[in-house]
Structure 1
Amino acid sequence: MHLVPTERAHRKAIDEHTVCLAIEGIGEPDQLPDWADRFALLGEPHRLAVLLAVHRAGPIAVTDLATATGIADTAVSQILRLLRAGGTVTGAKDGRIVRYELKDAQLAAILDQIRPASDGAHHELHGSAI
């Protein structure tokens, strides 16, 4: 059990190889709070909707995000303020408009795994064929 820290070396293991694989899978324990924070962002439906919209369509303005997500402009602004404070998104001025885009490449990779329904119902409902 070459990866087990010395303070846990006295514990018994059923399969030492599996224990080492599990420790490798966890990675650096000091990085876990950062990952937990990232996943917490995904745990609220409105934040997730804003993140997905910014990721797939950014740079995008608050008003356009509100229209796309069905969330009030003020709520979108609050969500973006939280995401900017955490370094997840960034905003760039375009005249009087601020356009937001995803800054966190690791979160982008996670968001890439979330795929919208592919049954075409959304596009048929709105009369578009994207």
Structure 2
Amino acid sequence: MHIEPGRRPIDPDRVAAAATGLGDRAVIDEWAERFAVVADPSRLALLVSIHYAPGISVTDLAAVTGMTDTAVSQALRLLRAHGLVTAQRDGRIVRYRLADETVHELIHRVRPHASDPPPEPVDR
């Protein structure tokens, strides 16, 4: 456990638990970058659309989101680069699916199906 020099914790057990939960800072940085990618409303709309219609094409994503095909393609390149979606060629059409289970779960929290149970309350 790392504590800045000159700092004396109020509750060392809680500091130890927080440090254990924090883990490797590189993982935190990686997730912060992924969240930054998802934080864009257009990219989030694409992820939600792909979630509810796996195998959807660029043209259909553009139709549902109101974006141009070019804008959708550029956003999907970024989402693919961050491992959030995968692409599969079907003849001349490229179809997209979510590639990340955590994003799948996040979308259920952000935009649940009407048949999904409500999310569990967060202990604050």
Higher relative contact order (Cα pairs below 8 Å, separated by 6+ residues): 2
* 1:100 counterpart SS class: strand
Counterpart of 2:99, as a letter, is: K
Q: Report 1:99-114 matches (<5 A).
A: 99-114=95-110
For the residue of structure 2 that corresponds to 1:91, the secondary structure is: strand
Tell me what 1:45 maps to: 41
- Greater gyration radius: 1
Tell me, in whole angstroms, the C-alpha distance in 2 between the residues paired with 1:40 and 1:71: 20
Q: Is the 8 A contact 1:90 1:102 kept in 2?
A: yes
Deviation at 1:112, TM superposition (A): 2.1
Please list the CA deviations of residues 8-55 of structure 1 after superposition, one character each: whole Å capped at 9, or x if unmatched: 476301111221222133232121121011100121110110111112
Corresponding residue for residue 26 of structure 1: 22
Q: Distance in 1 between matches of 2:100 and 2:6?
A: 39
- Matching of residues 1-130 of structure 1 within 5 Å: 4-5=1-2, 8=4, 11-115=7-111
> When the two structures are superposed, what TM-score results if normalisation uses the length of structure 1?
0.77
User: Which runs of no fewer than 5 residues in structure 2 stay unpaired?
Assistant: 115-124
